Amino acid sequence: MCYDPIIIHMHIPGREWSDSMSLYDAIRLSPSPIAIIVYSRAESSGSIILQAADLRIMMPNAYTLIHYGSTFVDGDHKVAVSNLQWSQAEASKMVDIFTDKLMDSPLVKEKKWRRVNAKKHILSQLDNKADWILSPTESINYGFADGIFSSDEFTSIEDIRKYLQKNY
């Protein structure tokens, strides 16, 4: 069965991790092919939502921001430890999602990295920068986006729709 494509116009600063992961899961489970067009920014957990799409398009002036986010701990010792353990597991999940995307990137092909090298590179970027900010071209090079709107391939919403119909 063929489903109509869905195009999401996204401008999101991230925010609540669990809410963003629910959107990530919903996009991944959709039977329809989904494109996300990023306006302005895909920050924090919003950069994870972007990774769920079948086609990820950046507007020319958009950017991707990747970081660990914030963790707030409240309550007694056991609650605090439990929250920190959960936060560490979710941070690891985030790194794995980006590593999966990086493995199909031009950068990995150029450097001939194995998964362990790609993951180390992402961890290095996150350790060296409070906020790892990537332009549309850098996002594509890292495999975190697929194209730039108004480029040769994606000059209109109809181009995106046709791409999804042809490839998914």
**Can you give the residue ranges of every domain in the chain?**
6-167
Mean local confidence (pLDDT), 33-59: 95
Q: Which amino acid is at 120?
A: K
Is 0.75 surpassed by the pTM of this model?
Answer: yes
pLDDT at 83: 85
- Helix H or strand E encompassing 118: helix 115-128
**Three-class SS of residue 6?**
strand
Mean local confidence (pLDDT), 81-95: 89
Beta pairing partners, 64: 42, 134
pLDDT at 13: 81
Distance, CA of 35 to chain centre: 12
pLDDT at 1: 60
- The CATH code of the domain at 6-167 is 3.90.226.10
Q: Do residues 165 and 5 lie in contact, with contact meaning Cβ atoms separated by under 8 Å? A: yes
